[in-house]
Amino acid sequence: MNILWLFAHPEHRSLNASLRDDGVRALRAAGHEVRQSDLYAMGFKAVLDADDYAGDDAAGDAAGGRLLVGDAQEDGWRAGTVSADIAAEHEKLAWADALVVHFPLWWFGPPAILKGWFDRVLVQGLASKVKDAQGNTRRYGDGGLAGKRAVVVTSVGAREASFGPRGIHGHIDEVLWPLHHGTFFYTGMAPLPPFVVYGADRLTREDYPAVAEALRERLHGLGTTAPLPYRPERGGDYDEGLELRPELAEGERGLGIHSASGDRPVPVRAEGAPVRAG
């Protein structure tokens, strides 16, 4: 497989950087091709603006050339006028069969630099608002990135139970929902169960080998692990208003109803170690 490792951590001596290095080595040793986007090391620009899409004049309205972000993105992408850093990421994305999206969980989401990568790189026409032959928008289980797989590798400072079904932080499935369902699944990628390192602030040198080995084992299944069982938009489970049909998950509410199985997706974690956020 061709694998793009998308990494967002500012410290090259961190737990996450060590796990990244071990993971990349394991994938290459198994015969996979791996390329990296180390966003902090690259100095990747996090903030989307008009300079990203040199063709944005065509996307502005006639009265004032107002920036219409989606249209500007699509015009720039189709014309080949997106900024050089975005174009380089598009080339990697087209090459990749799978993405490893690796970051520490900060304020219940990825670092701003990674959110900026999604904002700037997953442009309209390429990843979103892609149409089929009948003019229907392809999304939620289909889309411009259909056929690719994606897995989150992340670390949190808290213990596992506090991210469980009754945990104060909320269930990890729901914390990662915006990324799994709203980014990966929306654009057509198959989201895999995440690899979560819990209690990372308490990880010791003695604990690290077990965590690294758990990650290596997880990566060996990158091409075969069953994706999270989300319901595709066009699978018949939603009505014309995109509301789940009343006979499905009857009487239930919340994000879990959008899973086609009766069980919550179960994140793959680092077994046998208290773990950490850095």
pLDDT at 261: 75
Q: Delimit the domains of the chain by residue range.
A: 2-235+264-269
Query: Which of 126-135, 170-179, 250-259 is modeled with the greatest confidence?
Result: 170-179
* pLDDT level of residue 159 (50, 70, 90 thresholds): confident
Res. 275 pLDDT band, cuts 50 70 90:
very low
pTM of the entire structure? 0.87
CA distance 140 to 138: 7
Cα dihedral 242/243/245/250 (nearest 10): 160
The CATH class for the domain spanning 2-235+264-269 reads alpha beta
